Structure formats: C-alpha cells, structure tokens
Amino acid sequence: MKIINVVGARPNFMKIAPIDRVMAQDPDIETFLVHTGQHYDEKMSKLFFDDLQMPKPDIYLNVGSASHAVQTAKIMVEFEKILEKEKPDLVLVVGDVNSTAACSIVAQKMHIKVAHVEAGLRSFDRRMPEEINRLITDAISDMLFVTEKSGMENLKNEGIPDSKVHFVGHVMIDSLINFSEKAAESTIMEELDIEKGNYGLITLHRPSNVDNIEVFSKLIDAFEVIEKDLKLIFPIHPRSRKMIQNFGLEDKVKDMQNLVLLEPQGYLDFMKLLHNSKLVLTDSGGLQEETTYLQIPCITMRENTERPITVEVGTNILVGTDVDMILDEFQKVMNGAKRDSKIPELWDGNAAKRIVEIIKKELS
C-alpha cells in the first residue's frame, strides 16, 4: 500500500516523524513524504528534519507564506499534481494547519482516502484559523485518530460514525519520549548560562495575541513584572518578531535585562529548555500537552483550549490575556503550589504503532 504523509508547518514535523518511522519499517507500506513548504526558514523546518532524523521529503512544494486563501489554494494546486502522478492509497495529514486542510480536500475530491491524526479537537472558537482547518479536515476524513477523550465526544456530536474514529494516544508524545535522551545531550543551557528550574520558557505566536498592539503590549507588561523574579527565555516565532518591530516594542523588550530573546530553536534544544524549565508561558497548542506530560506548570495565554484534558488532569491553566491572572498564576508557581496532575490515557510512546496497525487493517 502506498501512503503519502504530509507535513507543512513546524508543529507537523514531530507528529509525522514517528509515523513515518513505523511505516518505513513495514514491508507492506511504501511511504512518500510531501512537504508543502508552508514553513520554509531553516530554523522552522530543516532543523527539525535533522533533529528528528527524518528522511528528506520526496517532494517539496515551496508554497511559502501568503494570505490564508492564497496559501491554501497554492497548496491545493500543487498537491493535486502530486496525487495525479503518485496515485496513493491513502493521504495522511496531521494537526490543524493550512496544509492539513488543503491536502485533505484535494485527496477526497480525487477519491483518495484520508487519515487525520489529532482529530476531534475543538476550541469552539471559529475565529481561530486552526478551528476551521480542524472542522473541515474531520468532516471529510475516512480515518480519524484521536489523542484525548474530548475528541471522541466532539466527533460523535458532529455525527461522525464511530467506525471511523480511533482513540490512539498522541504521536507528539511518541517523539517527546523517543528523543528525551538525545535532547538531554543538548548544550543549550550551558550556552545560555541557565540551570534546571531557574528560568521560565515563553512561546507566543497566535495572531489573536501578537497581531494586536494592545494585547501584545499587555502581555509584554506581564513579562516585565515576571522577569524581575525569574529569568525568561523566549525563542521567538518570526510572526511575533515582525510584530514587535511593527509595533515599535523593540526598545521596551531590549530594556528587560532578564528576558532573553532567541531565534526559533530546533527540536532537541527546545526540548532541553522545556524539560528543565520552572514554568512555561505560552499560547501554543502542543506545549500545553508537552508540559502536561512532563508535569511542568503551564500558564496558557488563551481564553480557550481545544485540548481540555491538559486543564482537567494536567498542569495547564488558561489565563487569557488578563495581566493580573497571569501574575497570580506565576506567583502560585513561585510559592511552590503544585497541582495534582496525571499523564493522559495512552500518551505512552506507542501511538504511531497503533495508528499504522489500524491503517493496515482498514486498507487491506
């Protein structure tokens, strides 16, 4: 059976890596890796291929950045040509980025089966571009692989037949487990002169947080208070760096002695920073889950989450963009408050194996 695995943006790479690896070892499966080029900077893409020991993509579509419509359309036009030529039995997409939705639409219209990994997550906030991508991809997928129980309920409520839905755990956690030892060898902490537990880690890139000057300034105000007590390491997404410049916030950020801005980090260096951090301040989806797995306090600067398990049983707390709430939660962590937390069901490093087994059964 021939399967095309699709990657496009940074959060896709660590999800495809374990699936691609399991498939490569299976004599019944021929894989073909397509990279849409949604993310293209060396630090947003190639570095991850190297760190995650992934094979070079068989095809790179080179679509680059553009408005949502243009980017999605470009991916669709280019991906259609690949499917015409390769005629796979299945297209496998992960996550909720534009590449995920674009490739699943093209495949379905060519009567090629689609598997969606990380299906069923819902923030119920349709102003998030990812929520639209999730709804579209799930509505038309043939196999839906779910990471947490809320996903099963959401898909049931949307009328997706149970026979298509499989609760398998989380491939991103497979990568976290697989690469823990390798990440431990990273020398990033020596380079930054930091030690376990003496810094917080920030990531921030959602349009709702960084594309609005009032919101972005408020969040930086919160960091300004926090950095007085705890060093903050902030690997910055290109979108956020651009907005800091556009909004004239550069001087303010430079004046914060204890806030260290870094270029986007590769997978292994970032994992090392994460494993050893005292707390995480983020608006990322994946980090809410990685911190839950590692039992590190996570203060999420969003009003909602499509990953409710991280709040219910994990270490995540939603604070929106309310500075007082951010500072309150920060203080609690500094005062040693610990939340009882558990690792969610099936987040055990074997999700990719489960997925490939099910795919083989469904395709044969």
Options 1, 44, 262, 363; binder of ligand UD1; rule CB under 6 A: 44
Radius of gyration, CA atoms only, the chain: 20
Among the listed ranges 51-59, 172-180, 215-223, 238-246, the one in contact with ligand UD1 (CB under 6 A) is: 238-246
* 136 scored as a contact of ligand UD1 (CB under 6 A): no
* 238 scored as a contact of ligand UD1 (CB under 6 A): yes
* 10 scored as a contact of ligand UD1 (CB under 6 A): yes
Per the CB < 8 A criterion, the answer to whether 298 and 315 are in contact is yes
- Of the pair 239, 360, the CB lying nearest ligand UD1 is at 239
Among the listed ranges 48-56, 183-191, 234-242, 265-273, the one in contact with ligand UD1 (CB under 6 A) is: 234-242
Task: Count the site residues for ligand UD1 by CB under 6 A.
Answer: 19
* 129 scored as a contact of ligand UD1 (CB under 6 A): yes
Nearest-approach distance from CB 264 to ligand UD1, in angstroms: 8
CB-based burial of residue 43 (10 Å sphere; 0-12 exposed, 13-18 middle, 19+ buried)? Answer: middle
Type of residue found at 132: I
- Of the pair 66, 337, the CB lying nearest ligand UD1 is at 66
For residue 259, how far is the Cα from the chain centroid? 24
* 14 scored as a contact of ligand UD1 (CB under 6 A): no
Options 97, 114, 115, 280; binder of ligand UD1; rule CB under 6 A: 97
Distance between CA 55 and CA 66 in Å, rounded?
Answer: 27
Binding mask 299-338 for ligand UD1 (x = CB under 6 A): ----------------------------------------
* 130 scored as a contact of ligand UD1 (CB under 6 A): yes
* 40 scored as a contact of ligand UD1 (CB under 6 A): yes
Options 5, 38, 154, 178; binder of ligand UD1; rule CB under 6 A: 38
* 39 scored as a contact of ligand UD1 (CB under 6 A): yes
List the beta strands (DSSP E) in the chain: 2-7, 30-35, 59-60, 90-94, 113-119, 143-146, 165-167, 199-203, 231-235, 259-262, 279-282, 298-300, 316-318
- Plot region of 336 (φ>0 → left; ψ -120 to 50 → alpha; else → beta): left
The partner residues of 7 in beta bridges, in order of sequence, read 35
Per the CB < 8 A criterion, the answer to whether 283 and 298 are in contact is no
Nearest-approach distance from CB 94 to ligand UD1, in angstroms: 12
Could you tell me the two tokens for 111?
């009567």
Nearest-approach distance from CB 71 to ligand UD1, in angstroms: 6
Query: Is 275 known to be catalytic?
Result: no
- Of the pair 38, 104, the CB lying nearest ligand UD1 is at 38
DSSP state of 91: E
* 170 scored as a contact of ligand UD1 (CB under 6 A): no
| Residues of this chain, 47-66, that bind ligand UD1 according to CB under 6 A | 65
Which residue stretches of 117-212 are H helix?
129-140, 149-157, 171-178, 180-184, 188-192, 207-210
- Of the pair 35, 39, the CB lying nearest ligand UD1 is at 39
* 205 scored as a contact of ligand UD1 (CB under 6 A): yes
Which residue stretches of 25-97 are H helix?
46-51, 68-86
Type of residue found at 82: I
- The one catalytic residue in 170, 205, 237, 275 is 205
Nearest-approach distance from CB 66 to ligand UD1, in angstroms: 8
Residues contacting residue 307 through CB under 8 Å, at least 6 positions apart:
121, 147, 148, 150, 285, 288, 289, 316
Per the CB < 8 A criterion, the answer to whether 11 and 286 are in contact is yes
Residues that bind ligand UD1 (CB under 6 A): 9-11, 38-41, 44, 65, 96-98, 129-130, 205, 237-239, 242
Catalytic residues: 205
